[in-house]
Structure 1
Amino acid sequence: MEANDDARSLTGLLRSTGIFHCDTRLGEDTALRLPAMPRTVMLHLVLHGRCTVATAEHAVTLEVGDLALLPHGRGHTLSTRVVDAEARGTDRGANASRSGVGSADTGAIPLEDTVRPLLGGIVERLALGDGPVVAHAVCSALTVQHPAAPPLPATLDDLLVVRADTRSAGLRTLVSLIDDEVSSGRPGWVEVASRLIDVVAMQAVRSALESNESGPGIWTAVTDPALARVMRAVTEHPGEDWSVGRMAAAAGVSRSAFSQRFRERAGEAPMTWVTRYRMSVARGLLADGVPVRIVARDTGYDSEVAFRRAFARETGIPPGAVRRGTVERA
């Protein structure tokens, strides 16, 4: 199997949990201020019309089918006010224009001050401004987690844009389906649209990660074919007897060369990463009610006692607390 398939397999472990999806309709000369939501991915997908997304530093104008992604949950405004044409910006937030940044935020209405009827599940509706709707967008907030990696890398720009004319055929189809569901109002549209939005958000995050140039970290390590091959093997078989020597053999390099390469790219020792991944798997199994002795076996521990010690040392809580539901699933 090709190395890039290994990297895609690892990226494919990303999971999202929707916080809210909002069917947003803005009138002319209207601005909405969204608060910062740390450790949250925020997304705006324009279904009809045109609007501007602006952080304190950058502004981009979105047109029909364009998608804005804020991978770190940065506070920003969504506006239909006319700004300089240069604010259309590019696909990278760092290269977006400062044009219109101040004008978009002036007098913006805070999200928490708006009335947003709940349509079902986590889907809300927001209508803001007088007169006809000049921008119709889906606005979402989600948490994104990966069992083998920490939060999204800080090197991702605060504001990323995926243009309608640069999307893959699959993403174009998904966006078209969302538009159809939201516009139709057919029975069950809320549930269908919510799931489709989650998929679009995950595809956008995955694309951003695959194209991101960052320093040492797991997202850098997976771009190394040999490391990606090993990491995929570990994530698919966490209960096997993994050691630095075995991983080095799987990578086709010496033990010392593998350790150095992994540290340089991942920013941590190989077994430190293996333990953290195993504990992430263990936490999910415990939350599902799997007995501790089975979890220990499935995550590579010879004894339940050794697993309990390792779990408490790594997470700061005993495995029984997760199993009893007294702490949240990671």
Structure 2
Amino acid sequence: MLSHADAFSDWLLEDLELHSTLFHVGQYCGAWQASTSGHRRASFHVVLHGSCWLHLPAGTTRRAHSVALAAGDAVFLLNDQPHCLSPDPQPPAPGRESVRDGQMTPLDAPGQEASDSLGLACGFFEFKSGLDDLVLGLLPDHVIARHDQPTQHGARQIFELIRAEAQLDPHAPSPLIARLTGLLFVYTLRALDSNDELAPCFFALLRRPAFAPLIAAIVATPGERWTTARMADFVNMSRARFCKQFAELAGQPPAQFVTLVRMKFAASMLSTGASTPDAAEQVGYQSESAFAQAFKRVTGLQPGAWRRTAGESARGVLH
């Protein structure tokens, strides 16, 4: 039987087409600083050998901090945010968080790496379903996959495949690295409930026995009347305590989570040809206009436009 985290990650990735692209593969030596920020895309870094530090400046829901990384670790930055990797445990000066210094060279042969070198595979990824903003609203702004996490046994095998592909030809990186990294991201999501470095997001709720059954119930029955009072009763808390703890763990209020779940469900229905009234009813809206306003606020499109776009994409695939 799937855990709450497994079920939630599978639901989150359902109907999404994760597309990864490789930016570069190689190694750094001496003094250097690497970053993928500034490209307006989510990105990843996989440490192939050696060790380094990830530096993240302060964000809206976190303080500035630096994190040590070792071979087998991976970082997924789910939006374009200032950051860098470097061999220095001290963060760069303010304003230089995304500066790139040093030259990346081809990887050395296995077992012949210099002691101060760092092997790195970097790239970008995106969700191709049009639900990027909705999905990102349910995830932390960055995720670190640790090679030594007990729950990451499958991910460690994927990493070994990534490292093997990276060593094939230093001058022509294998396109399989990007595909394997996308799979590594899926495994990482399924291990988020055991990640002690997790930033505020809805996966943090799954680590609390009081909240996990509630999240599972909302995902399973989005059309139910999930008022704040009912959710608080579900977890046997006062409304004030429930709202406070939910926001602290998730980084967003409970009503916003319910809306995101409903709109994801509705988007899936509309993509398969359901009418706007049917989609609205299935996710608990009695007013079609109220549903349309909420749907556009979350997805950026009116329900009818979403259905037409999905239909056009499906016809394009068939032809």
TM > 0.5 fold call: yes
Q: Which residues in structure 2 correspond to 1:291-330 (within 5 Å)?
A: 291-302=275-286, 304=288, 307-308=291-292, 310-312=294-296, 317-325=301-309
Q: Which residues in structure 2 correspond to 1:176-255 (within 5 Å)?
A: 176-184=160-168, 192-204=176-188, 207=191, 210-212=194-196, 218-243=202-227, 247=231, 251=234, 253=236
Deviations 1:20-67 (A, max 9, x none): 2235123655746434259855332233x4364553777777554343
Highest CA radius of gyration, 1 or 2? 1
Question: Contact (CA 8 Å) 1:217, 1:265: kept in 2 or not?
Answer: no
Measure the CA separation in 1 of the matches of 2:151 and 2:4. 23
Q: Which residue, 256, 261, 269 being the options, matches 1:285? A: 269
Could you tell me which runs of 5 or more consecutive residues in structure 1 were left unpaired when the two chains were aligned: 88-96, 111-127
Question: Contact (CA 8 Å) 2:50, 2:70: kept in 1 or not?
Answer: yes
Question: Contact (CA 8 Å) 1:6, 1:225: kept in 2 or not?
Answer: no
Q: In the alignment, what sits opposite 2:4?
A: 6
Q: Which residue, 145, 155, 160 being the options, matches 1:171? A: 155
Could you tell me which runs of 5 or more consecutive residues in structure 2 were left unpaired when the two chains were aligned: 58-64, 314-319
Q: Does 1:264 align with 2:244?
A: yes
Question: Contact (CA 8 Å) 1:67, 1:164: kept in 2 or not?
Answer: no
Name the structure where strand makes up a greater proportion of residues: 1
| Count of aligned residue pairs for this structure pair | 280
Residue 324 of structure 1 aligns to a residue in which SS?
Answer: helix
Q: In the alignment, what sits opposite 2:55?
A: 55
Deviations 1:240-264 (A, max 9, x none): 4545566566x363xxx35334312
Q: In the alignment, what sits opposite 1:150?
A: 137
Identity among equivalent pairs (%): 24
Q: In the alignment, what sits opposite 1:98?
A: 90
The TM-score normalised by the length of structure 1 is 0.61
Q: In the alignment, what sits opposite 1:25?
A: 26
Residue 98 of structure 1 aligns to a residue in which SS?
Answer: coil
**What is the aligned-residue RMSD (CA, Å)?**
4.7
Residue 183 of structure 2 aligns to a residue in which SS?
Answer: helix
AA partner of residue 195 (structure 1): R
Measure the CA separation in 2 of the matches of 1:192 and 1:131. 17
Measure the CA separation in 2 of the matches of 1:136 and 1:215. 26
Q: In the alignment, what sits opposite 2:121?
A: 138
AA partner of residue 98 (structure 1): Q
* C-alpha displacement of 1:183: 3.9
Residue 300 of structure 1 aligns to a residue in which SS?
Answer: coil
